[in-house]
Amino acid sequence: MAALTAALVGSTVTGATAQSHSETSILIYSEKNRIRATEGNFTLSKQLKNDYTLNLRLTYDGLTGATPTGASPSRYAQTITRASGGKTIAVPAGEHPVDNSFKDTRFAAEAGFSRPLGRLNTATFGAHASSEHDYTSLGINGGIARDFNRRNTTLGLSLSVARDVSKPVGGYHVPFTDIEAEIDDDRETRLERFSGKKRNVYDVILSMTQVLDRQTLLLLNLSLNRASGYLTDPYKIISLVQAPDGGDPGEPVGAIFENRPDSRNKNAVFAELRRHLGRSTAGLQYRYFWDSWGVVAHSVDATLRFDFKQRGAIHPRVRWYHQSEADIYQPFLVQGVPLPAYASSDSRLAAFDAYTLGLTYSVPVRNGSRLNITAEYYAQRGDRSPPEAFGSLLSFDLFPKLDVIMLRLGYERDF
């Protein structure tokens, strides 16, 4: 969806000749000791008559490996019941409990169509569908952009509506219930647990693209997103640990399913500056993000393209990201203390910094086609020992750090 929107807002002010374009790529994604994924992508942007454009994107990915359950490490070996039911997980002493039976495939398709409306307006319409064995999403989007000031300014407004359905493996669990609790197996309960939980997602983007001078382009976006419905992660659990005055303070004694609010508003201000510098092109992006769960995030992404004329181009890239902790984030809950209204131990809602280092080499293979080879390293580092930790929790790294290597190979063609 991101690609189609960017194409809408940026297509007119630069005066670039519209051209059909396709890219086929494969991505190998590998987290250290965790998830591995292989993803294939096909994108097509086809120019039709009367300046109509058709955009298509197909994605297929397969994931396997281990994902954190959200439970706390312990000084002793633990046995944890999987949220998806069935087998238990044996966790060695001192290690983060991970569910290593994670397996999923996803197929996603997006199609968009844009057409001029009069001399200065462009309208777009699109739809997407994606399917995993436990999650489906269907959505439509539309937008309008208008050029002003001798086509030096484009203002755009885009809207999107999506309907997602989550059908967790092992069925839906009542938030905050004990993961070991017996579940009634009567017909009515089964129907309720396996019927699927719905989520509606709405997006609005207000954008402005501005030519600043012969070499410089600026994009500014204000994006508003609202999700309502089932926002809880059905596979995440939280450990209940012994109180500071207990026999073994900080040691897990059980676990419950997490519970998130049923609505979330996400807002972002995004700016991108592109400047041509002779044989190189620099791009700088900044995003300020805040949401109704108390998360504030900053990201800065810088790219540079060095052109070697006939021998291709290289694009080094650096990204820094920081997010604050969500109000609902609780790495663990204390036994005997009343439960908060909501809680999740998902480390993606913790405070952390993330870094990306990347390099793409783009080499021409024939007239109008290129091979793109990308290698990226991505790392997340959070607070190893949050201030609320006590007892045996003080001896563990409570943020499951993440290290990822990504390799991509893409074949791009203009026609």
Partner 1 sequence: MKIRRIASRAIVSLVISCLPGGCASVGVEVWERDVLSKPEMQLNHQANNRTIDDHIYFSKEAASGGRGFGGGGCGCN
By CB under 8 A, what part of segment 374-393 binds partner 1? 374, 376, 378, 380
Of 178, 248, 262, 307, the one binding partner 1 (CB under 8 A) is 307
Q: Closest approach of Cβ 354 to partner 1, in Å?
A: 7
Q: Per the structure block, which two tokens stand in for 118?
A: 């009069």
Helix (H, G, I), strand (E, B) or coil at 242: coil
Q: Closest approach of Cβ 367 to partner 1, in Å?
A: 14
**Residue reference for tokens 């096909």:** 42
CA dihedral 81, 82, 86, 88 (to 10 degrees): -50
Q: Does position 195 bind partner 1 by CB under 8 A?
A: no
Q: Does position 209 bind partner 1 by CB under 8 A?
A: yes
Q: Does position 9 bind partner 1 by CB under 8 A?
A: yes
Q: Does position 101 bind partner 1 by CB under 8 A?
A: no
Helix (H, G, I), strand (E, B) or coil at 385: coil
Q: Does position 35 bind partner 1 by CB under 8 A?
A: yes
Q: Per the structure block, which two tokens stand in for 363?
A: 């080499």
Where are the extended beta strands (E) located within 97-196? 98-117, 121-132, 135-148, 153-166
DSSP classification of residue 182? -
Q: Closest approach of Cβ 117 to partner 1, in Å?
A: 17
Q: Does position 331 bind partner 1 by CB under 8 A?
A: no
Q: Does position 287 bind partner 1 by CB under 8 A?
A: yes
Q: Per the structure block, which two tokens stand in for 373?
A: 């080879």
Q: Does position 144 bind partner 1 by CB under 8 A?
A: no
Q: Does position 328 bind partner 1 by CB under 8 A?
A: no
Of 145, 256, 349, 393, the one binding partner 1 (CB under 8 A) is 349
Of 213, 309, 366, 387, the one binding partner 1 (CB under 8 A) is 213
Of 276, 364, 371, 413, the one binding partner 1 (CB under 8 A) is 276
Size of the site for partner 1 (CB under 8 A): 114
Of 89, 91, 145, 211, the one binding partner 1 (CB under 8 A) is 211
* Rama region for 171: left / alpha / beta (φ>0; ψ in -120 to 50; rest): left
- List the beta bridge partners of residue 267: 224, 290
Closer residue to partner 1 in complex, CB, 1/363: 1
Q: Give, as ranges, the residues between 220 and 239 that touch partner 1 (CB under 8 A).
A: 220-223, 225, 227, 235
| Selected range binding partner 1 among 89-97, 184-192, 290-298, 390-398, rule: CB under 8 A | 290-298
* Contact present, 32 and 404 (Cβ < 8 Å): yes
Q: Does position 96 bind partner 1 by CB under 8 A?
A: no
In order, the DSSP letters of 255-278 are EEE-B--SEEEEEEEEEEEEEEET
Closer residue to partner 1 in complex, CB, 39/258: 39
* Rama region for 70: left / alpha / beta (φ>0; ψ in -120 to 50; rest): left
Q: Does position 240 bind partner 1 by CB under 8 A?
A: no
**Residue reference for tokens 């790529």:** 25
* Rama region for 137: left / alpha / beta (φ>0; ψ in -120 to 50; rest): beta
Q: Closest approach of Cβ 252 to partner 1, in Å?
A: 22
d(CA 201, CA 164): 8
